[in-house]
């Protein structure tokens, strides 16, 4: 009874902390709403457990300029307040000092991203700048004893600290503007940037002075020049999860991949240890030629956990938790029989268990893995009545509670805290007021028998006030090893599309994640086979299940692999849809094999072959071979900074459509990559897509 009363009291407090919302008729969610919703991330808790701080990005509804700041609330709930607010600047990446007296973060006040701190023990204190490097600080990590900090950013390989006058770039010898990449350069371009050989993401350890400033002496984690050449954190998406202090603060673990001629074909990232003495780091996972990542030493210093793949060259192989006893050297996989791929690792403060996240049948929940048994338990962290959705930013606390973020198809991320064995309570409430005025989203999960007789899952999203028949938007996810699961997206968002009086249907076809590794592997060498069968059967199952879906009035939409599938549907399922939206999709597999940058992906998907070794592997599922059958109107979208699926693939698609006289449009963004991220570009993207859909689906 006492625990129940406490839980109810805490829930009442959390609800009372939510902003008061005037009751008025709900309206449909718009693109403007999507762009201006708050973006909450990176929650941290004070060492005494009393305070929670997170970063929050706000978008001006007129100019669409974004600014990130820091917010604080009591861990028991209450009214959040802005903290460490610096005029005409942004603040991000909060971290408490181990003694709880200072809040550290990154700010761009000086014109560069640098480290700042706020003295929490002094009322009304103003933030002070703690570093003045020549390079931008991309991220940082405080040592457990509070005496040192690791900071990282892009610098020359021979630069002894975080930034030198020269960038180290060897690709521009002059006198003209041409870039010269010498034999064995490796990546020439990656994701959305031309590579600068000689310049890498590098991490350095600095001492912290009594004045709160970083000392001038730097220790490079990657050792002296000639020891290790590569990016740490790795590019393009590596971050703080790839760097970890040893609990005694005497060393650090980090992830890196050797940068050489083999890098475009290598997924061989390794866990390295640096003693931070100026010497060379030690490769702890040299025997594994596949990916090793997410280093996480236990608080008691006895164990090192990390995640590892088994198959070199495969970026979507299962990430299995590995465990090494740092005192004896004994190594073993943990929960080897658990057929899920971990996405994050965090230790409980008592070093007796790990809290990990992993995709699992349309959710991305948290799991507890006990030592030494390896027993896996799925945790229920979401508030009662809600799905787990997408759990992230997990931090286990000393009292057994867990701090985390949660988002879903209906809601963007908010910060939550869950007492041990209890559902989570929302702390941030950043978007409650805005969402309260919008028509809710109704989401339904369904399953059916797909290719190979396997169970396949999907989702149907509709506005809660839907009436009559709804035109259908058939979303096809990218990856292809991915999922259109119960999570929020600021790019492909089911709620904003459904709010325009559409039904959004998605299917996690063979190749999707969260259903076991065999299901994920099934798309290999089978891009246009099993997945298309799943999509066909899944759309039929959805329309049969829900009478409100107007299955004869449908358009298909997809990006990346989903864009490939749009081109494939044009030639293989040409009479099903009234229109297609194709974003960054593969049109010609032959050109793609020679134009993309991460070669390991394209080669693995075609049986670990290059095109010249086995052209038949690429031509079997090549959309360009079936253009003669194309007839469905298509909107093509591409971006000039997309080096994963170069914009020439989109141009070729549009050329094929135009030459056949098929109604088609082409939208090209000169300043975007594989994703459309800038607010005004996102607005234009949505307006163009909505206009195209309305043209073909509205009577």
> Is 674 among the catalytic positions?
yes
Cα–Cα dist 456/411, whole Å: 25
686 a catalytic residue: no
DSSP label at residue 429: -
State the Cα–Cα distance between residues 433 and 39, nearest whole angstrom: 14
What's the confidence (pLDDT) of residue 24?
A: 64
Looking at 606, 674, 682, 686, which residue is catalytic? 674
Phi, psi values for residue 181, rounded to 5°: -105, 120
Which tokens is 670 given?
A: 């000169």
**3-class secondary structure per residue, 169-181:** CCCCCCCCCCCCC
Catalytic residue (choose from 408, 560, 608, 682): 560
The burial of 367, by beta-carbon neighbours within 10 Å (0-12 exposed, 13-18 middle, 19 or more buried), is given as buried
**What is the mean pLDDT, run by run of 10 residues, along the chain of 699 residues?**
31 36 76 98 97 98 97 97 97 97 97 97 94 97 97 97 94 94 95 95 95 92 94 97 98 96 97 97 98 98 98 98 96 96 98 98 98 96 97 98 98 98 97 97 98 98 96 98 97 97 98 98 98 98 98 98 98 97 98 98 97 98 98 98 98 98 98 98 98 95
Complete domains list, the chain, with CATH: 439-697 (3.40.50.1820)
Secondary structure string (H, E, C) spanning 583-604: ECCCCCHHHHHHHCCCHHHHHH
Q: What 3-state class would DSSP assign to 90?
A: coil
CB-CB contact of 451 with 436 (8 Å): no
Helix locations, 290-381, DSSP H: none
Q: With beta carbons less than 8 A apart as the criterion, state whether 618 and 604 touch.
A: no
Helix (H) or strand (E) holding 406: strand 402-407
4: how many CB neighbours lie within 10 A of its CB?
Answer: 9
Q: Of 642, 664, 682, 686, which is the active-site residue?
A: 642
What is residue 70's predicted lDDT score, i.e. its pLDDT? 98
Among candidate residues 222, 231, 230, the one with its CA nearest the CA of residue 279? 222
Active site residue 477: no
Q: How far is CA 323 from CA 280, 329, 438, in A?
A: 24, 10, 47
Looking at residue 11, what is its pLDDT? Answer: 31
pLDDT recorded at residue 25 = 78
Taking the model in full, what pTM does it have?
A: 0.94
Strand order in the sheet with 114-119: 91-96, 102-107, 114-119, 128-129
Contact 338, 322 (CB under 8 A): no
The position carrying tokens 């005004």 is 680
């Amino acid at each position: 009874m006492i625990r129940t009363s406490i839980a109810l009291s805490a829930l009442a407090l959390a609800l009372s902390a939510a902003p008061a919302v005037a009751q008025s008729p709900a309206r449909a969610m718009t693109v403007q709403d999507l762009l201006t919703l708050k973006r909450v991330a990176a929650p941290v808790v004070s060492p005494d457990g009393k305070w929670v701080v997170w970063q929050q990005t706000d978008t001006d509804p007129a100019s669409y300029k974004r600014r990130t700041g820091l917010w604080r609330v009591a861990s028991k709930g209450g009214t959040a307040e802005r903290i460490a607010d610096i005029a005409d600047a942004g603040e991000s990446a909060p971290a408490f000092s181990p003694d709880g007296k200072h809040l550290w973060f990154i700010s761009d006040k000086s014109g560069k991203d640098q480290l700042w701190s706020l003295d929490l023990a002094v009322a009304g204190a103003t933030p002070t700048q703690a570093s003045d490097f020549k390079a931008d600080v991309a991220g940082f990590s405080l040592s457990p004893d509070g005496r040192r900090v690791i900071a990282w950013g892009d610098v020359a390989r021979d630069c002894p600290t975080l930034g030198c006058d020269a960038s180290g770039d060897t690709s521009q010898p002059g006198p003209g503007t041409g870039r010269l990449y010498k034999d064995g350069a490796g990546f020439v371009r990656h994701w959305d940037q031309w590579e600068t050989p000689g310049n890498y993401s590098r991490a350095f350890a600095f001492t912290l002075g009594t004045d709160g400033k970083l000392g001038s002496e730097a220790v490079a984690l990657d050792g002296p020049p000639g020891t290790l050449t590569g990016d740490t954190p790795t590019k393009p998406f590596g971050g703080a999860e790839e760097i970890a202090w040893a609990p005694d603060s005497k060393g650090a673990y980090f992830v890196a991949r050797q940068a050489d001629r083999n890098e475009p074909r290598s997924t061989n990232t390794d866990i390295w240890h640096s003693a931070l003495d100026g010497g060379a780091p030690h490769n702890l996972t040299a025997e594994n030629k596949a990916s090793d990542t997410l280093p996480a030493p236990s608080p008691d210093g006895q164990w090192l956990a990390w995640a590892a793949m088994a198959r070199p060259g495969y970026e979507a192989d299962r990430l299995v938790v590995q465990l090494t006893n740092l005192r004896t050297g004994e190594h073993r996989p943990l929960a080897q029989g658990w057929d899920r791929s971990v996405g994050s690792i965090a230790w409980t403060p008592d070093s007796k268990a790990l809290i990990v996240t992993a995709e699992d049948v349309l959710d991305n929940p948290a799991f507890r893995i006990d030592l030494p048994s390896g027993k896996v338990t799925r945790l229920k962290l979401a508030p009662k009545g809600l799905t787990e959705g997408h759990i992230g930013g997990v931090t286990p606390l000393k009292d057994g509670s867990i701090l985390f973020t949660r988002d879903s198809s209906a809601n963007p991320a908010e910060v939550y805290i869950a007492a041990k064995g209890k559902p989570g309570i929302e702390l941030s409430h950043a978007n409650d007021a805005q969402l309260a005025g919008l028509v809710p989203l109704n989401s339904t999960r369904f399953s059916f028998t797909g290719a190979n007789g396997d169970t396949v899952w999907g989702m149907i999203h509709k506005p809660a006030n839907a009436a009559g028949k709804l035109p259908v938007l058939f979303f096809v996810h990218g990856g292809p090893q991915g999922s259109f699961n119960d999570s929020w997206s600021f790019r492909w968002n089911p709620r904003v599309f459904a709010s325009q009086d559409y039904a959004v249907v998605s299917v996690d076809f063979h190749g999707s994640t969260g259903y076991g590794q065999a299901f994920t592997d099934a798309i290999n060498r089978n891009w246009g086979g099993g997945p298309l069968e799943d999509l066909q059967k899944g759309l039929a199952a959805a329309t049969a299940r829900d009478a409100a879906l107007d299955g004869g009035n449908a358009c298909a939409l997809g990006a990346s692999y989903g864009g490939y599938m749009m081109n494939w549907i044009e030639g293989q399922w040409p009479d099903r849809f009234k229109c297609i939206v194709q974003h960054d999709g593969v049109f010609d597999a032959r050109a793609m094999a020679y134009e993309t940058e991460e070669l390991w992906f394209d080669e693995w998907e075609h049986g670990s072959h290059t095109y010249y070794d086995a052209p038949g592997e690429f031509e079997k599922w090549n959309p360009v071979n079936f253009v003669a059958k194309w007839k469905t109107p298509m909107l093509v979208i591409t971006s000039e900074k997309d080096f994963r699926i170069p914009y020439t693939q989109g141009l070729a698609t549009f050329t094929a459509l135009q030459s056949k006289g098929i109604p088609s449009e082409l939208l090209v963004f000169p300043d975007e990559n594989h994703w459309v991220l800038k607010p005004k570009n996102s607005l234009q993207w949505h307006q163009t897509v909505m206009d195209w859909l309305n043209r073909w689906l509205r009577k």
